[in-house]
Amino acid sequence: MSIVARWAMAGALLALAACGSKSSGTCTPRVPTDDTAPGTLAEWCQVELVQGDVSALAGDVVPFTLTTPLYSDGAIKRRTVRVPPGTAASYNDAGVLGFPDGTVFTKSFGFRADTRNTALPIHWIETRVEWRAAGAWNFMAYRWNDAGTEALQLPGGEVVSFSYVDVDGVAQDAHYLVPSRLQCEQCHSEGGAVAPIGPKARWLNTDVAYEGGTENQLAHWTRTGILSGAPDPADAPRLPVAADPDAGTVEQRARAYLEANCGFCHTPQGNARASGLYLRADVTDPDQLGVCKRPAAAGPGAGGRPFDVVPGAPEQSVIPYRMEATTPAVAMPQIGRSIVDAHGVALVNEWIAALPGSCL
């Protein structure tokens, strides 16, 4: 199958469009059995460049997308997953799907000089590989060279500075972070173990355009045998495309955005558990959501604002203040964002502005 994931920023339909032919080459995708990472991305034999796009290799490597992704300085992202032949992930409603040992994910990050002009080449920065072996998840980032011909492992990470024009036509200066392995774990930590974040039913449950036609991802994964036990997509949970005004109410979309961009740390088992601020979409306790909650241990990060969320008053709320910041001690998330996501800020502001009540 020659399909390439293509993320349409505000589209209701996420298209996985065919993008030219490619060869499967001579290599066989790697099925890892331990925490050892090969020195080059090519040795994973899971993705290849096809007409300048990091694409799933032919065969059983599956490109996928999420309804609402993490904002990463506006990077173009491509995701793939492969489970070992003859195995399948087990379905569950709430958490990460139960991927078997030997599962390999890739996530590639790149930019166009002008995001709006899709005729321009994508400059690939890095491809992150996450794999499961002996019951544990492991990480490695691979840094693409300037020519875009090869990606080499970079366990200690790097800050890559460049400028580009974003989806709105605004020139942006990025200090893009290729994370160190530990910085991967900083976000990918749940319930005492490191784990993937995105591949949960509620983020995968959406239609995408495969080469053979449009199909729901959960249904596609079930039909192709890499997922077992999934219900009909209509009976599976779903969080909306936050960027799509037609995908849900402001509250639903804002809460989806907050889970995608904050909820991996801000959860009782996550890295920000000490804050008591929990931002997953299923949280109902106003105090945990930050409503009239004093910021905890924020240092200079609170910007003089009294509460994390002040109903009706985004300009007095800490959460948007930290979303609008780019200085390292203030900005949230703490890593992985050096540019303000104006669309995300606007959505969260709209949600806070409409909240009833007041703080005393």
Interface residue list for other proteins (CB under 8 A): 39, 111, 113, 123, 143, 152-164, 173, 175, 177, 180-183, 185-186, 189-194, 268-271, 273-276, 287, 292-306, 318, 327-329, 331, 334-335, 338, 359-360
Place of tokens 């979303």: 323
* Residue among 113 and 346 whose Cβ is closer to other proteins: 113
* Residue among 22 and 273 whose Cβ is closer to other proteins: 273
* Residue among 86 and 356 whose Cβ is closer to other proteins: 356
Tokens for 202, please give them. 């509620």
The answer to whether residues 104 and 129 touch, using CB atoms and an 8 Å cutoff, is: yes
**Residue 191: CB minimum distance to other proteins, A:** 7
Q: Is 342 exposed, middle or buried (0-12, 13-18, 19+ CB in 10 A)?
A: middle
**Residue 155: CB minimum distance to other proteins, A:** 4
The answer to whether residues 237 and 262 touch, using CB atoms and an 8 Å cutoff, is: no
Tokens for 283, please give them. 């949280």
Closest CA to 345 of 312, 326, 320: 320
* Residue among 14 and 272 whose Cβ is closer to other proteins: 272
* DSSP-derived pairing of the beta strands 104-111 and 76-82: antiparallel
**Residue 297: CB minimum distance to other proteins, A:** 7
d(CA 43, CA 153): 11
Angular region, 91: left φ>0, alpha ψ -120 to 50, beta rest: beta
* Residue among 62 and 177 whose Cβ is closer to other proteins: 177
